[in-house]
Structure 1
Amino acid sequence: MGCCSPRCMLIALCCLQLVTAMERQVLDYLGYQWAPIMVNFFQIVMVILGLFGAIQYRSRYVVMYLLWTLLWLGWNVFVCCLYLDLGGLSKESEVLTLGLSSHRSWWAENTPGCESESQLVSSSWSQQQDPELMVLLCWFQYQHIEILHCCLQLLVSLLGFVYACYVVHIFADDNDTYFKYL
């Protein structure tokens, strides 16, 4: 097995997906976003199954990973549309928190390049400032960071899907040649 074989690439992509899903899980825990927490948990479990299937030559586990990846792609497209306010969706809705809390994305309060609220309250200039103008002072808006997370997940998942399809095909061919000699 070469280091650039489809199986090896699938293992590497699954490891990358595992790291990015865990990072996303932690940030969703910090923001009390319960729907993404549940979906991220299933993503972690299915990626571990896909990783196990690729390592142990178990095509059924890789197929389960493939089917889950289709759902994961749909979820990430939904979250992108939600943060972009497309299709009647709104980032201000309680869809991601399941109506259980009033929290929102962790990035909304901890966006890189934004001044903290304590700094803004202490300055006399910010006391007269409109809240929407304060958002413009950030390097990025929080919804753009969330969309970048989703785009990263989409890219890695699409590559994982392609490699997983190829690996399942290879595993099926290997099983066929094995049974020919019996």
Structure 2
Amino acid sequence: MTFNISMHRSWWREHGPGCVRKELTASASKSLDDRTYISVTGCIVDFQYLEVIHSSFQILLSLIGFVYACYVISVFTEEEDSFDFIGGLDSYSYHAPQKPSHVQLTPVYL
């Protein structure tokens, strides 16, 4: 969007749906930076509305991409937390051994 601040022209102004474009050369000045004058007629929708629709679509697409990226990150971090270690020592299946009240010690060699 140019907001008519600079010399740049909108692409939608010349290439909108139904627009007929005619180029007219300025014969009065013969300088190197001679600009052609473009006459545009027959547009179905004004270019300002097309620029707003185009920008809105890009914003919507970026928001959908951001939400999807957050979902993918949450899936990867969730899988990382539920890793099953080699001994089956994850938080769901690990049972701590029960301590007996007293232990009877016996010699190995007599």
Question: How far did 1:173 drift?
Answer: 0.7
Larger radius of gyration: 2
The aligned counterpart of 1:142 is 47
The aligned counterpart of 2:64 is 159
Cα distance in structure 2, aligned partners of 1:153 and 1:113: 23
The aligned counterpart of 2:5 is 93
Q: For residue 65 of structure 2, what is the amino acid of its counterpart?
A: G
TM-score, scaled relative to structure 1: 0.33
Partner SS, residue 152 of structure 1: helix
The aligned counterpart of 1:171 is 76
Cα distance in structure 2, aligned partners of 1:112 and 1:104: 17
Cα distance in structure 1, aligned partners of 2:20 and 2:58: 28
Cα distance in structure 2, aligned partners of 1:167 and 1:106: 36
Do structure 1's residue 103 and structure 2's residue 8 form an aligned pair?
A: yes
Gap runs ≥5 in structure 1: 1-78, 83-90, 95-101, 119-133
The aligned counterpart of 1:181 is 85
Question: How far did 1:160 drift?
Answer: 1.4
Q: For residue 157 of structure 1, what is the amino acid of its counterpart?
A: S
Structure with a larger share of its residues in helix: 1
Gap runs ≥5 in structure 2: 24-39, 87-110
Cα distance in structure 2, aligned partners of 1:109 and 1:156: 25
Considering only aligned residues, what root-mean-square deviation do their CA atoms show, in Å? 2.4
Aligned length: 70
Runs of 4+ in 1 over 6 A off after TM superposition: none
Question: How far did 1:146 drift?
Answer: 1.6
Partner SS, residue 103 of structure 1: coil
Matched ranges for 1:43-54 at <5 A: none
TM-score, scaled relative to structure 2: 0.51
The aligned counterpart of 2:92 is none
Cα distance in structure 2, aligned partners of 1:115 and 1:140: 13
The aligned counterpart of 2:106 is none
Q: For residue 92 of structure 1, what is the amino acid of its counterpart?
A: N
Structure with a larger share of its residues in strand: 2
Cα distance in structure 1, aligned partners of 2:73 and 2:18: 45
